[in-house]
Chains A and B, each alone.
Chain A
Amino acid sequence: MMLRFFVGLFFLTTIFYSSPVFGASVGGPGDGNEKFQPGDMIMHHILDAHEWHILDWKGHAVSIPLPIILLHEGKGLKVFSSSKFDHGKSTHQGYKLVYGKTTSIEFVNEDGSNNVAETAKIWDFSITKNVFSLIFSILILLFVFITISKRYRKNKNKAPSGIQSLLEPIVIFVRDDIAKSAIGEKEYKKYLPFLLTVFFFIFLNNLLGLIPFFPGGANLTGNIAVPLVLAAMVFIITTLSGKKYYWKHIFAMPGVPKPVLLILTPIEIFGVFLKPLVLMIRLFANITAGHIIILSFFSMIFIFGEMSPVAGYGVSVFSGLFVLFMMTLELLVAFLQAYVFTLLAAMYFGMAVEEH
């Protein structure tokens, strides 16, 4: 963990120091002669995109086009394929795909310059790489668990078999060791479907993120929006299920003198919001850091390769081994983060429903 921290810190600083370079190079496909920019490459991989870039082939980008859905105030809903943009080279109905650290859509004037006023009116609901990955993972979850639930209905009171016996211990683990132990025998059943869904959603998407090629590789759980929504749900559920005891401990901690309460109560109120915030940042930072480290090791091959091909080949051996090591570690992290998120959510629910 120490090693990971330092390596992560090192590469994060590298990225920040090299940030002026981001702007200069758009990292867009098509211009093959420029210098390799590890920061660009890494950001491109961990951020979202409007097309699923697979590789560059003889100077041309090969990517899977994704649907663009734009809600343009005053112009209504626009739906078309991202292939219409031709990797940013052409405009479609006045819209242009702009490559930065991430891809964004701008509304352009006749002369091709950005129409800032109109661009601000665009609500981008496109099925981006991350949205595609989200829907894909949801379909996998639904398919797998509905198949299993059918088998439970068919093989009633029989020993589990196949994928059922693979996932059953995890379901029981979440039920007994997370929900039951953190919330308590009386109330846990109400929160169990949410906790199970969150656990398997995070776990599956962490794992999908480790697969380097389509349909995996999107950094979904490491995208701030996803932990944000999950943490917000935890916050809403915690707040809605808060009982008298919970609120009393926030606004008027029993057994504490009044003057101290003046300090304590604001801290407690702050804590109510801080808890889900920390939940969000932990998941986001852990997964993103993992991706950055692995990509950094890959980048080293190309950095040294630009100096001399021999150095590139030499470093590739060590990079490969390090990446293998990190990937193995990330497998553990994938489970661990799903576990930690679910456990903390369960503990917050437990605190909210606690009674004395």
Chain B
Amino acid sequence: MELVKPDIGLLFWMTTCFILLLVLMKKFAWGPILKALNEREQGIQTALDQAEEAQKQISEATSRVAQILEEGKKEKEKLIKETQIELSEYKKEQQSKINIQMDAQLKSVKDEIAQQKRAAIGELKNTVAELSIDIAEKILKKELENPNQHNSLIMDSVEDLQI
């Protein structure tokens, strides 16, 4: 029966030593070990979360870049179109401006020509009248006393010339 009869000495040592072991292990071993394990697990978890977050941000950024590129492309096409339209409008406008200007110039040139022509004609008329007067004077000096009668007579005849 020695097998199942606990020995007082071993009972005493087992109780005291085990309690001592428990206290020492709790304070110096399990405390720090479990704390460190916990912290490391939390650290790993946070790192994983952060990595996931970063992944998400990267994919978001990538999609945003693609979006921006797409928008840029559209903008470019729009700008080109607008510019083309503007350019053709501008061309038309310029063309019409030039036309108007040219018309105006042409008109003023024509007017001047007409004016010059009229002036020349007027002058010519006067010169002819004077010449006629001179001629008539010289002719009628001997025949007429009143030069004014002669003058109007000549003027009438000049008007009748119809140049």
Contact = CB atoms under 8 A, between A and B. Distances in A.
Given A128-B9, A157-B40, A146 B28 contact: yes
B124 interface: no
B39 interface: yes
Contacts of A69: 9
Given A101-B2, A138-B21, A197-B21, A225 B11 contact: yes
A172 B30 CA distance: 11
A196 interface: yes
B119 interface: no
B90 interface: no
Nearest to B6: A225
A46 B21 CA distance: 24
A198 B95 CA distance: 103
Contacts of B3: 43, 46-47, 224, 288
B10 A128 contact: yes
Contacts of B54: none
Contacts of A130: 7, 10
Given A153-B36, A156-B39, A233-B18, A142 B25 contact: yes
Contacts of B17: 134-135, 138
Contacts of B12: 125
Interface string A130-165: 110011001001100110111011001100000000
B33 A171 contact: yes
Chain B interface size, under 10 / 10 to 19 / 20 to 34 / 35 or more: 20 to 34
B38 to A, nearest CB: 10
Nearest to B12: A125
A226 B14 contact: yes
Interface of A: 43, 46-48, 69, 100-102, 123-128, 130-131, 134-135, 138, 141-142, 145-146, 148-150, 152-153, 156-157, 168, 171-172, 175, 192-194, 196-197, 201, 223-226, 228-230, 233, 284, 288
Q: Which 3 A-B pairs have the closest CB atoms?
A: A145-B29, A152-B36, A225-B6
Main secondary structure of the interface of B (DSSP, over half): helix
Interface in B1-56: 2-15, 17-18, 20-22, 24-26, 28-34, 36-37, 39-40, 43
A128 B9 CA distance: 8
B80 to A, nearest CB: 57
A126 B9 contact: yes
Given A46-B3, A142-B21, A157-B43, A229 B36 contact: no
A192 B30 CA distance: 8
B18 to A, nearest CB: 6
Given A100-B2, A134-B17, A157-B39, A193 B10 contact: no
A67 B94 CA distance: 122
A135 B11 CA distance: 13
B22 A197 contact: yes
